[in-house]
A and B are shown apart, each in its own frame.
Chain A
Amino acid sequence: MNEKRRIGLKYCGGCNPLHDRVRTAGWIQEQLKDRVEFVSYEDEDTEGILIIAGCATACVDRTPFAGRPVWTVTGPEDAERFVEEIR
């Protein structure tokens, strides 16, 4: 039985988002539900971090995630690319 991959989920704060970040994250989780367990970004035991940002600025501080892969999704098209990559 294959174990699911563990990826930390981190949102930007959403001051002026150009898409529904929570919906985008939900869509990603649904698409990858058989392959990935999304957990808190504060969980150290993850292979990388998925940042869901409301716009291309993607102002989340990446310093705490140094040494781990970080994927940034700034809209639905990014989300599709991320899903394809993980699949």
Chain B
Amino acid sequence: MAMMNAKQYEDSLRKLKLNVYMFGKKVENVVDDPIIRPSMNAVAATYECAHQAEYEDLMTAKSHLTGRKINRFTHIHQSTEDLVKKSKMGRLLGSLTACCFQRCVGMDTLNALSMTTYDIDKKYGTEYNKRFLAFLAYVQEKDLTCDGAMTDPKGDRSKPPHQQADPDLFLHVVEERKDGIVVRGAKCHQTGAVNSHEIIVMPTISLRQDDKDYAICFALPSDAQGITYILGRQSCDTRKLEPGMMDRGNQFYGGHEALVVFDNVFVPWERVFMYKEWDFAGQLVEQFASYHRQSYACKAGVGDVLIGATQCIAEYNGVQGASHVKDKIIEMNHLNETLFCGSLACAAEGHKEPSGTYYVHTLLANVCKQNVTRFPFEIARLAQDVAGGLMVTLPSEQDFRSPEIGKWMEKYYKGNPKVPTEYRMRILRLIENLTLGTAAVGYLTESMHGAGSPQAQRIMIARQVNMDLKKKTAKKLSGIPENE
């Protein structure tokens, strides 16, 4: 099968029998649900752009398995150029959708597994890499979206998995059969889960021998028996149920997250990629996290839209010539391009692993993500500063459309006389969406905690810098003897 387009992707989702709940009710039609639909549109963009001449250089790659053109989201990186193109693809899609397009997590999982399964096999003589490559070939052939499911509920953070009061707080194996295993547990914060064809489960932390039942990795169709999705709420989510579109801010795209429950789910052996090799759990987590920390180039793309919206509102308010406004927008651009620099740098400095997969420079990937935990918040603050308080006091679109009171909004919310009041309202709603509405989930809090919270990167940075060399040079240049 050739790469899917947006329509084919949507049709493929309609065939899934997902068990999805939202607001206490089962969602019978996931694809057309007005709250979920914008997130499906965002994933669909990853399919459609692969067919557009002006984007396909980033959106596609040549499969190392078949030599065929595939969507880059299913590709295993074969060079540093591939890694750089991945960063650029993230920025591109962020700049087109202004939201989380959800598909990078699966790509990062596939690439991490291509390395870890190979390394496990080398040590233990297992056949995980063979199984993984068969799965990868299927994903590439069908052009599937995969959810990479890592984050367990974790319960009492001071205790390892086997000491938790409830053993299910980390996903684990509960039964071993001749034809496979049965697992129980849950994964939290699963971005794009109900827009995915496959769900790939990984351990969430480094593990010790006592936790070997938790050292499991596998892939299943997203509608496998026993999997339930509970959609997470987003700020302002029910605006998508209101008449009119303006108050949504982003007219087309969005994201979603879900709690995914595995209630005694059967996994056939051919879909198991790690089974009790507890000593490789940490490696898989680190490799996935490093790739995923690179993936946050997408936030520079979202930042592009927020900066554009801020420049627009400055012009609509008539303040675009004020020096402090210009300077604030320069600062937004500076921060945004710095985000991109980190993602590009860790890609350009990548290297080839024994499996043949190219892996990012992990120190720089952590620096990239650490910046992402901060800069979008400052960019958002500056956007709100320039936008003004009207962004949060603006009455609804329904008021604006009201024959009785709409005229007052038209009159009193006029800024630059050359700009329709409605345009001013629309751009304010987009800034609201990105900085405290549904899209702020992805642009702000996900930037903080996605791919690991800030402290996780700081630990990695501390581990990976060569402090001895830095000290040695400082001592040498200041005249201190080397051994002092």
Which A residues form the contact surface with B (CB < 8 A)? 9-16, 21-22, 40, 59-61
Contact = CB atoms under 8 A, between A and B. Distances in A.
B92 A21 contact: no
Contacts of B331: none
Q: Is the interface of A mostly helix, strand, loop or mixed?
A: loop
Q: Is the interface of B mostly helix, strand, loop or mixed?
A: helix
Given A15-B87, A15-B89, A60-B57, 6 more contacts: A11-B53, A12-B58, A13-B58, A13-B92, A14-B58, A16-B304
Interface string B36-77: 000000000000000001111111000000000000000000
A12 B81 CA distance: 13
A39 B88 CA distance: 25
A2 B84 CA distance: 43
B57 A10 contact: yes
Contact of A13 (B59, B304, B340): B59
B53 A13 contact: no
B92 A15 contact: yes
Contacts of B57: 10-13, 60
18 contacts: A9-B53, A11-B54, A11-B55, A12-B57, A12-B58, A13-B54, A13-B89, A13-B92, A14-B54, A14-B58, A15-B58, A15-B91, A15-B95, A16-B88, A16-B91, A40-B53, A59-B84, A61-B81
B299 interface: no
Interface in B287-330: 304
A67 to B, nearest CB: 20
Contacts of A16: 88, 91, 95, 304, 340
Contacts of A13: 54-59, 85, 88-89, 92
A12 to B, nearest CB: 6
B316 to A, nearest CB: 22
A22 B84 contact: no
Contacts of B88: 13, 15-16, 59
A14 B84 contact: no
A14 B89 CA distance: 9
A10 to B, nearest CB: 7
A11 B49 CA distance: 13
A84 to B, nearest CB: 24
B94 to A, nearest CB: 10
A21 B58 contact: no
A77 B91 CA distance: 26
Contacts of A15: 58, 87-89, 91-92, 95
Contacts of B91: 15-16
Contacts of B87: 15
A33 B441 CA distance: 48
A9 B55 CA distance: 13
Given A13-B59, A15-B88, A22 B340 contact: no
Contacts of A40: 53
A40 B52 CA distance: 12
A61 B79 CA distance: 13
A13 B84 CA distance: 12
